[in-house]
Amino acid sequence: MSQLLINEPNHQNAIDWLKRQGNPFRNYFARNPDDEVCSIYHVPELYSREREQLLRVVDQYRYTPNTHSEVVPILGNKGAGKTHLLHSIKHGMEGNWQLLVTPGSYQRDTDFLEYLLFQLLDTLLGGGKQRNSRPLEYVGEQLIRMLLTRTLADLSSEERLDLFPPPGLGWIAKTFGLGSTQALERTQWLIDALSRPSQDAKSPGMVRKLCDEAGLTCYRAFELVCEYVDRTSGHDAAAMMRHAILQGFARSVLLQDETELASFLTYGFAELDFKMHPGRQDLVLALFKAMMGVMQELRIPVVIAFDQLEDLLLARRNDDAHKTAETFFAGIVKAMHQLDGISFLVFAERGLWNRFIPSLDGYIQDRLNNPVHVPGYGTIKCMKLDAPPFELVRKVVLARLEPALRGLPNFKSLPVFYPFTLEQIDRIARTEPTLRDMLQQFRHFFDKIVYGAESESINEIAPSSSGQTSSVGYHVDSVELEVPQDQLPEGVRSMVILDTTPEGHMGKESQIEKAEQRNSLEISGEIKNESAAELKEEKRIQELQPEALSQLWAQEFSLAKEQLSPEGALAGATKELQAGLGSLLHLCHDQGIKVGPWRLQHVVSEWTFGDHPTYGAITLAHWVCRDGQPWKVGIGLFLANGQGKSRDLAVKLSAWDLEPTVIDHLILLRPEADMMLVGKGKQAWQDMEKKGRHSRMEPLTLDGCASLYAFPRILASLAEGLVEGQPLPNLANLVQEKCEKLLEQICMPVQGD
């Protein structure tokens, strides 16, 4: 018999209110480092020490930018809160700003440094925000403040006077040296304003605003910065790259045109006038060093954080897990040697880390296990996230319950952890192994109390609240026992006791029958209790229903669309989109998804060729129809604009010249707003057709791009919610519903059966 004394009207009002609000524990794990649920239910005290240590590690690269690149492993069981911790570093307001790259996919078949570079460019050019700022806008604002300050300070007195020509006939006064003081003062005011550190100084548009207040047009400021960069730049390959990057940022910030910067970072860097043209890997390294040089000069640390490593590396469950892990960790160590100033954070399950690291080459192990000095904390080899103590679990529960009840007029009169009791919370906190398991238990228990849903029974005898006059037990699955008037305590008009034991739901005869069955089973030894793991697996499978999958798709699709919306974001995300295309086709192959009469026989996620790091990649898909021979189809993303358009097309068409032949048919996905070919591009396409080569262009919408970008993240989110070893659910219906048109575009022409 479980009893809890609480005012009856208050209880019923609160229960009705909670039913309308929904279960505050329904989101019990973070799907990715950008999941807004993390900020809604953030508890600053949770892993505060670990957060402080990681921020101090990052700050070393702020104060000493050329510090050697190092790795910090953050280890914890699945559900320990690793992703939430990463979210608090990426989006929380503690500490200073850093450029934090969180890859959503791992392209095993791509050179690792090339993979890292395009993850950096995707983060920089995309529309996603970190601490309420787009990386491109934040970095650009700091860079142009610095450059414009240096430019103005470098001007002579005569040049400063020319910045602010007097209106009307003021030139006559200027001829006689009159009015020069005001122009010099305005120049000095602008220099001081640009140099002055303030909170608003980091806001996008502040440089333009200050120029406007001083009376200097943004176009004139752009010209001045470009002249200064021309005057102070060298002529070697590294200097040419830096020169183009600085001018690209100047155009982006002062003229609000990002296309030139995006074009250079994805195309122009490979087209510079080199005395001896470097190879593909040398080009990538040169651009990476140029970008790192800009960040280090601004003292903006570059952090590359790999989250949910087990799902990132093992997205394709039929791959050789050990080979994938070996390639990944060897790539990190190689990158650490080639580039200084990068802080690598690896969030991984302890089991995966302990399974793979000991089997790696000793040299790789030494670099991964190299201790990192953390000011104020000594040296650390790795960081371990253990289950939080029950005091912190109480705060986590309160952070979710309080907003759900806040709109209720008399919610402050309810017990602090209503509808739970302190004993129930502490029991779950002390018995569940991870924070995720705790939140999941609170989720089911909340459903049981508020909605009467079937769940594991947690029978507690909760203390009564003092000062209450009319009381009622608030467990929903219960039997009400009305107390006779002559047995009521003094001052109490009525009382109902709720029996929450399973037997309380049955009549007397049913209870006897149930007891006899139980005794019979005990005698024969046939009672078998389901293990906790089996129950959790069953619940997780039930939660992956079509509605939940559609909700997950909508969430990731929305984030992807935001990321790809700015100018130049598509170009920066080329590699991620190609990876998404490979993931989609691999899933279609693994789950036997057909497109009309066609099905996949073989998929290569990314086939790289040629010397151009951006354009030299296609996905290979072998489509077969019934018992016919497979068509080897190459699918490429033809996304370049401006001068890069013809170069992109030429590189993609060169896939036909590879020996031995790798394609029988070439499909190029082109943004639907720019499908027309002119000039060299049109001539190259016609020459290809004359050779009898089967090729076609398909229009790609922003929604189609967002679907490709989101797909690896959707698979990772699904895998994160599954029990270890459990296969992905059948996603055929979801894929065909959301990607039907896209699948038809990347398949052989679909005809009737």
> For the residues of 687-745, what is the DSSP string, one character each?
HHHHTT-EEEEEEE-HHHHHHHHHHHHHHHHHHHTSPTTPPPPP-HHHHHHHHHHHHHH
pLDDT reported for residue 256? 95
Tokens of 598: 């066609």
Apex CA 634: angle with CA 659 and CA 563, to 5°?
130
pLDDT reported for residue 688? 93
CA gap 453, 656 in Å, rounded: 61
User: Torsions phi, psi of 199, nearest 5?
Assistant: -65, -40
Q: Evaluate the CA torsion angle 408, 414, 416, 417 in order and state its sign.
A: negative
pLDDT reported for residue 409? 81
CB contact set of 355 (below 8 Å; sequence gap of 6+): none
| HEC readout, 511-545 | HHHHHHHHHHHHHHCCCCCCCHHHHHHHHHHHHCC
Place of tokens 């189809």: 633
Torsion of CA 305, 132, 402, 479, to 10 degrees: -60
CA gap 577, 614 in Å, rounded: 12
One-letter amino acid for residue 551 of the chain: Q
CA gap 6, 13 in Å, rounded: 12
Burial environment of residue 527 by CB neighbours within 10 A (0 to 12, 13 to 18, 19 or more): exposed
Identify whether the C-beta of residue 261 lies closer than 8 Å to the C-beta of residue 571. Answer: no
One-letter amino acid for residue 427 of the chain: R
**Which residues, listed in sequence order, are joined to residue 608 by a DSSP beta bridge?**
617
Identify whether the C-beta of residue 620 lies closer than 8 Å to the C-beta of residue 662. Answer: yes
- If phi over 0 gives left and psi between -120 and 50 gives alpha, with beta otherwise, what is residue 188? alpha
Domains located in the chain, CATH noted: 8-29+388-500 (no CATH), 37-127+301-381 (3.40.50), 135-296 (no CATH), 546-745 (no CATH)
Helix (H, G, I), strand (E, B) or coil at 26: coil
| HEC readout, 630-675 | CEEEEEEECCCCCCHHHHHHHHHHHHHHCCCCCCCEEEEEEECCCC
CA gap 645, 638 in Å, rounded: 8
CB contact set of 432 (below 8 Å; sequence gap of 6+): 387, 438, 441
Identify whether the C-beta of residue 649 lies closer than 8 Å to the C-beta of residue 684. Answer: yes
Helix (H, G, I), strand (E, B) or coil at 371: coil
- Classify strands 342-348 and 383-385 as parallel, antiparallel or unpaired: unpaired
Q: Evaluate the CA torsion angle 430, 436, 437, 441 in order and state its sign.
A: positive
pLDDT reported for residue 720? 72
Query: Any idea what DSSP says for residue 606?
Result: E
Number of alpha carbons in the 13 Å side-chain half-sphere of residue 274: 15
Identify whether the C-beta of residue 532 lies closer than 8 Å to the C-beta of residue 428. Answer: no
Q: What is the tens place of the pLDDT at every residue in 708-721?
A: 999 988 888 887 76
pLDDT reported for residue 234? 85
CA gap 589, 583 in Å, rounded: 10
Query: Any idea what DSSP says for residue 408?
Result: S
User: Measuring CA to CA, how many Å separate 99 from each of 166, 302, 508?
Assistant: 43, 5, 67
Find the helix packing angle between 218-232 and 237-254, rounded to 10°. Answer: 170
CA gap 259, 266 in Å, rounded: 11
Identify whether the C-beta of residue 712 lies closer than 8 Å to the C-beta of residue 678. Answer: no
Helix (H, G, I), strand (E, B) or coil at 553: helix
Find the helix packing angle between 280-298 and 112-125, rounded to 10°. Answer: 50
One-letter amino acid for residue 94 of the chain: E
Q: Could you say which residues of the chain have pLDDT below 70?
A: 1-9, 165-180, 198-202, 315-319, 453-545, 721-725, 750-753
pLDDT reported for residue 721? 66
pLDDT reported for residue 717? 81
Name the nearest CA neighbour of 76 among 387, 344, 342, 336.
387
pLDDT reported for residue 728? 76
User: Measuring CA to CA, how many Å separate 69 from each of 282, 300, 334, 569?
Assistant: 19, 14, 11, 27
Apex CA 254: angle with CA 615 and CA 182, to 5°?
160
* Omega of the bond leading into 660 within 30 degrees of 0 (cis): yes
Q: Which helix (H) or strand (E) holds 384?
A: strand 383-385
pLDDT reported for residue 483? 46
CA gap 559, 400 in Å, rounded: 24
Identify whether the C-beta of residue 282 lies closer than 8 Å to the C-beta of residue 274. Answer: no
* C-beta atoms surrounding 129 within 10 Å: 16
- Classify strands 495-499 and 479-482 as parallel, antiparallel or unpaired: antiparallel
Place of tokens 């050697």: 68
Helix (H, G, I), strand (E, B) or coil at 274: coil
CA gap 473, 2 in Å, rounded: 8
pLDDT reported for residue 603? 94
Identify whether the C-beta of residue 640 lies closer than 8 Å to the C-beta of residue 572. Answer: no
pLDDT reported for residue 6? 57
pLDDT reported for residue 664? 94
Identify whether the C-beta of residue 587 lies closer than 8 Å to the C-beta of residue 715. Answer: yes
* C-beta atoms surrounding 361 within 10 Å: 12
Q: What is the tens place of the pLDDT at every residue in 655-694?
A: 999 888 899 999 999 999 999 999 999 999 999 999 999 9
Apex CA 576: angle with CA 733 and CA 581, to 5°?
35
